[in-house]
Amino acid sequence: MSAISPERRLLGYPEAALADANEAIRYAREIGHAATLMYALGIAPLVVVARGDYATADLLSDEVIALADQKGALFWKIFGMRLRGQCLACTGRAAQAVKVLTATANAYRSTGSTALVPLDQLYFAKAYTELGQFADASSCIDEAMATLEKNKDRLWEAEVLRLSGEIALMEKVPSATKAEAYFERALSVARQQQAKSWELRAAMSLARLWHHQGETQQARELLAPVYGWFTEGFDTRDLKEAKALLDELA
């Protein structure tokens, strides 16, 4: 049985991460062990959401919620609901996302677990930004950073920094200077961690900013080698967006 590893996706191997997730689910179904299946169904959407395949993530979340209800497994029901909230945040249903994420965040914390809390806050911030509630979005980012510091868990740090930059560009008084600083910090963290997927996102954000400032050549020189590093996952949302941006920069 392959272990599900969202980290493999962050390291730049989205196809390998998806293969691991599918194999884990297949094996869990084969042995008929409910706890193993809930784990596989609960973790796999982290890989699938990152690919931009929100429909599949929704289906997996629905299945883990139903199985958790059947088995009385509160933790995995909450886990499935929070993944549903993340999908809502990614598909333009911000108000619904905030409602679901708020309910599940409170319930999740009641379990005593702090794992993935920074990821929850990222999706909160994304939804609040879409709603134009920038103060709430910034508070979510602050909480995400505080949790990262407390837990000494840097897995999501680059993406928290990148989103901070995006928020800085969308506030009532946008600050390109602040945004650029956040994007550069996100790039630095991603490179230190060899997290190529986070590096690609940060490079796209910074390249868009430079492009809008008229620094198109500089933007292309930043993004092209990061995109060129990848050898798989070209059907994923991030790599499609990167290719489209490179075409625009050309």
pLDDT of 159: 94
Residue with tokens 């193993």: 36
pLDDT of 93: 94
pLDDT of 1: 45
pLDDT of 204: 98
pLDDT of 9: 62
Q: Distance between alpha carbon 207 and the CA centroid of its chain, in Å?
A: 20
| DSSP summary character for residue 172 | S
Asked if 207 contacts 222 with a C-beta cutoff of 8 angstroms, the reply is yes
The residue type found at 220 is: R
Phi-psi region of 4 (alpha: psi -120 to 50; beta: other; left: phi over 0): beta
pLDDT of 30: 95
Element (H, E) at 3: none
Distance CA 213, CA 133 (A): 26
Asked if 6 contacts 17 with a C-beta cutoff of 8 angstroms, the reply is yes
| Residue 14: closest CA among 45, 40, 48 | 48
CA quadruple 140, 142, 143, 147: dihedral sign: positive
Whole-prediction pTM:
0.89
Distance CA 152, CA 88 (A): 28
| Residue 206: closest CA among 234, 192, 188, 187 | 187
Element (H, E) at 156: none
Number of other CB atoms surrounding residue 145 within 10 Å: 17
Asked if 76 contacts 43 with a C-beta cutoff of 8 angstroms, the reply is no
CA quadruple 66, 71, 72, 76: dihedral sign: negative
Helix (H, G, I), strand (E, B) or coil at 113: coil
**Interacting residues of 106 by C-beta distance below 8 A, sequence separation 6+:** none
Helix (H, G, I), strand (E, B) or coil at 175: coil
pLDDT of 8: 60
| Residue 60: closest CA among 48, 71, 75, 70 | 48
pLDDT of 173: 87
pLDDT of 59: 93
| DSSP summary character for residue 152 | T
Phi-psi region of 112 (alpha: psi -120 to 50; beta: other; left: phi over 0): left
pLDDT of 82: 87
Q: Distance between alpha carbon 169 and the CA centroid of its chain, in Å?
A: 20
**pLDDT of the chain, 250 residues: tens digit per residue:** 444 445 566 788 889 999 999 999 999 999 999 999 999 998 888 889 888 899 999 999 999 999 999 999 988 998 899 889 999 999 989 999 999 999 888 887 777 777 778 888 999 999 999 999 999 999 999 999 998 888 887 888 999 999 999 999 998 888 999 999 999 999 999 999 999 999 999 999 999 999 999 999 999 999 999 999 999 999 999 999 999 999 999 9
